Amino acid sequence: MKTIHYDVFVIGSGVAGQTVAKACAKQKLTVAIADNREFGGVCANRGCDPKKILLQFSALMEHAKRLEKSGLSKLPKVNWKAVQQFKTKFIEAIPKKTEENLQKLAIDLYHQSPEFINKNEILVEGKTISADYFVIATGKTPRTLEIKGNKYIETSDAILNLDKIPKSASFIGSGYIGMEFATMLAILGCKVTIFDHGDTALSNFDQFLVKKIITKMESLGVEFIFNAEVISVKKLKKNIRFKYSVNGKNKRHKSQKVFNTAGRIPSVKQLKLNNANIDCDETGVLVNAFMQSKTNKKVYACGDVSSLSIPLTPLSGLQGYIVGKNIINGNKKAFQFPLVPSTVFTQPNISVVGMQEEEAKARYKTVKIYKGEGTHWFNAKKLNQETYAYKIITNDRTEIIVGAHILGEQANENINIFTIAINSKMTVSDFKKLIFTYPSYSNDLKKMLAD
């Protein structure tokens, strides 16, 4: 069988993979791209975008409930079937449109996950293919829970495609995805229980704020069970029952749905990386500063699957851009982590950018912490919002802002203002001189820096 050759073969059609493929094709390199699922990647098809479409309806309901006795005489009702149809309008055209855009650049498409035969070749769709460079941009996939009966545990894909809101649901894991969807389902009338093997939720976020979002979610009816280890799962007639232990004591729980939100791992299982001497661990494909495999110089990795990743779409696009440049021009462009804001889309949002308190204290001789609640401020009071808090971290010697943590209605937007401030090395005094519209959540940011 004749071997097909390309200058560049990209594995994965999300933002990172598309960015590389398009950049190389525009330079007249021969390019192919493969994906074993619909083209367009996780974020557009079954991640960030459809998630936010669904979450806005639960956010609306929670907002309305807070104003029910302050002017709203009747709460709105959510037609979940119509919500799903609305979501589908956004995502159904993505795979076809993605393929069309790639084909316009003469990029060949393969609809299967390749596997490496050796350092220079892959096998895909029954064809042997060689390339000057291979780019792995396969993202991450839900971590498999190695417990008896795990076939009855569903992933976030199933949540995005629920045909109706279940009466009860359990989440195994209290990270981003679990906290976001648990909030949504609870607001929409589902009895939600979250199990986690740790002693708190969102372990990478400031616990001053995390404790408050946990309290908020508990007021919505969410039950948290920490220090829990799920042992087994069994399908009953109407429910799913699973056994778990807390501090060595075995217990049982049942619900209509059980979701695996215990984190994601690099999606490389099908690639047979060992055949090509490509090293990978739990962080992803091990790459150097140029996003090139440390053990196979013909291979680059970018996006969530690389060892230099943070699971955020804008960062994947940046890494794809860098890989494209390095393939075209040689390794001249090194990747450096930019300042990256992050948000958990609970209701309200919890957002962070820059340093945690412990990190700042380890780096600077003295730090100043601006910490408190904004529930007595106008913006929170007009919404009857009882959850609004912040922690802003500064280098006390220079007054420069180095970290910001916000739990509030517009935290996902306001954290971007602090991102600009930290990137610009703004001091507290400089920031407080800024003029924002009033009354706005942006204007609240200056209040957060009051002594």
Could you report the per-residue pLDDT of 17-33, keeping only the tens digit for each?
999 999 999 999 999 99
81: in domain: yes
Domain boundary, last residue among 329, 361, 385: 329
Same domain (yes/no): 276, 404: no
CATH number assigned to the domain comprising residue 415: 3.30.390.30
- According to the model, what pLDDT value does residue 312 have? 78
Q: What is the largest CA-CA distance in the chain?
A: 74
415: in domain: yes
335: in domain: no
- According to the model, what pLDDT value does residue 323 have? 98
**310-362 pLDDT tens trace:** 877 788 999 999 999 999 999 999 999 999 999 999 999 999 999 999 999 99
Same domain (yes/no): 255, 244: yes
CATH number assigned to the domain comprising residue 30: 3.50.50.60
pLDDT band at 1 (very low <50, low <70, confident <90, very high): low
- According to the model, what pLDDT value does residue 309 have? 85
Same domain (yes/no): 282, 137: yes
Q: How many CB atoms lie within 10 A of CB 321?
A: 18
Q: How many CB atoms lie within 10 A of CB 420?
A: 12
- According to the model, what pLDDT value does residue 400 have? 98
From 171, 186, 255, select the one nearest 216 (Cα to Cα): 186
Same domain (yes/no): 431, 352: yes
Q: How many CB atoms lie within 10 A of CB 143?
A: 16
- According to the model, what pLDDT value does residue 449 have? 97
Summary mean pLDDT of the chain: 96
From 382, 380, 377, select the one nearest 71 (Cα to Cα): 382
340: in domain: no
- In the beta sheet, which residues pair with residue 287? 293
Both tokens assigned to 379:
């913006």
Both tokens assigned to 250:
């075995």
Residue 71 has pLDDT above 80, yes or no: yes
Q: How many domains does the chain have?
A: 3
Domain boundary, last residue among 242, 262, 282: 262
Q: How many CB atoms lie within 10 A of CB 228?
A: 20
Percent of the chain at pLDDT > 90 equals 96
- What's the rounded Cα separation, in Å, for the pair 307 and 414? 29
334: in domain: no
343: in domain: no
Summarize the confidence of residues 57-81 as an average pLDDT: 94
From 103, 99, 128, 116, select the one nearest 13 (Cα to Cα): 99
12: in domain: yes
Summarize the confidence of residues 419-423 as an average pLDDT: 98
Same domain (yes/no): 77, 202: no
Same domain (yes/no): 280, 254: no
Summarize the confidence of residues 56-61 as an average pLDDT: 97
pLDDT band at 151 (very low <50, low <70, confident <90, very high): very high
Domain of residue 207 covers 150-262
Summarize the confidence of residues 26-48 as an average pLDDT: 95
Same domain (yes/no): 322, 359: no
Same domain (yes/no): 133, 85: yes
- According to the model, what pLDDT value does residue 310 have? 80
Summarize the confidence of residues 401-415 as an average pLDDT: 97
Summarize the confidence of residues 297-312 as an average pLDDT: 92
Report pTM: 0.94
Residue 80 has pLDDT above 80, yes or no: yes
Same domain (yes/no): 189, 308: no
Same domain (yes/no): 110, 249: no
Domain boundary, last residue among 241, 262, 283: 262
Q: How many CB atoms lie within 10 A of CB 10?
A: 35
- According to the model, what pLDDT value does residue 451 have? 80
From 41, 36, 44, 34, select the one nearest 11 (Cα to Cα): 34
Same domain (yes/no): 8, 137: yes
* In contact, 308 and 337? CB cutoff 8 Å: yes
413: in domain: yes
Residue 191 has pLDDT above 80, yes or no: yes
Same domain (yes/no): 423, 438: yes
